[in-house]
Amino acid sequence: MSRGRLLAVAALAAACVAALVLVAMLGGGGSAPAPARALAVSTSLAPSPVFFGDVVTGRAEVLVDRRLIDPDRVRIEADFAPYTRVGPQRESRSGSGRVTSIGVRYTLLCLVEACLPDRDGIALPKLRVRAPLRDGGTATTSASWPRVDVVSRVDEPALATDPPPWRQQLALPAVSYRLGPGALAAALTLGAALLALGAFALVGVELARRRRLLLERTRLRSALARALDLARASAARGPDDRRRALALLARVLAFDRNGGRRLAPAAARLAWGRADPSPSGLESLVDEVERTVGRR
């Protein structure tokens, strides 16, 4: 075999090996390992350690074999006493091969005495996962959370000193005012009194105005009634009496606000027309005035 052929065979062998390696990497590297059982779960807490009152994030990852369990029917039961959830539960899912990974994140907080620093840490209840199997029965599993390591915000040497080296203010600061309570109370009382006096004054003015209007209305009604009586009585007398009675009625109607004002020109024309006012025309006008404004 010539040297050229040997080189060609070697290059072909190298290409085959490279192709096999590439197939192995693409075929097997992208899939997650299948769980040894139908369900598998792992947990973690962060940060660690934490100070009292800090927020703790709990993460759980559940691996589900889709050949045995429907991932949509997996139920995760989590209790974190004495910690409580302070935010929404966040869930994410991903799949690879026949495995579905369900990731859940919890935001936790504890402000009660049970979460004070403890040398042994704080134990949380186990995380429990259950799901019905496709072929019948139920798969269950559980996982323990790492202990929450709560540390003190004050170091040991500071706690050992007596008294502690921090300042503790027990006395309340002195109260200060921009305006003293006595002066404010006096100003408010004076303001209330002035407002009350102003209200009484307005009521008095309104009552006086209303009384004046009633008196004017009464006088006007009385004058109109007298004018109507004189006009009706003058119908039986001479033209001069009828003219004077109609002129008086016209003057009174000119100040009436209940519709009589529009009849004042008719009364004036009848009183001072070229022809003498007739008794029938006078009585017709008086009847129309009474129908329009009423006789009071």
pLDDT in tens, the chain (296 residues): 455 554 455 555 555 544 444 334 434 334 445 455 789 999 999 999 999 999 999 999 999 999 999 999 999 999 999 999 998 999 999 998 899 999 999 999 999 999 999 889 999 999 999 999 999 899 999 999 999 999 988 777 766 776 666 666 778 888 888 888 888 889 999 999 999 999 999 998 888 888 777 666 656 567 777 888 888 888 888 888 888 888 888 888 887 776 677 888 888 888 888 888 888 888 888 888 888 876 44
List the end-to-end C-alpha distance of the chain, in Å, as a whole number.
147
CB 35 within 8 A of CB 63: yes
pTM over 0.85: no
CB 106 within 8 A of CB 58: yes
- Please name the amino acid found at residue 133: L
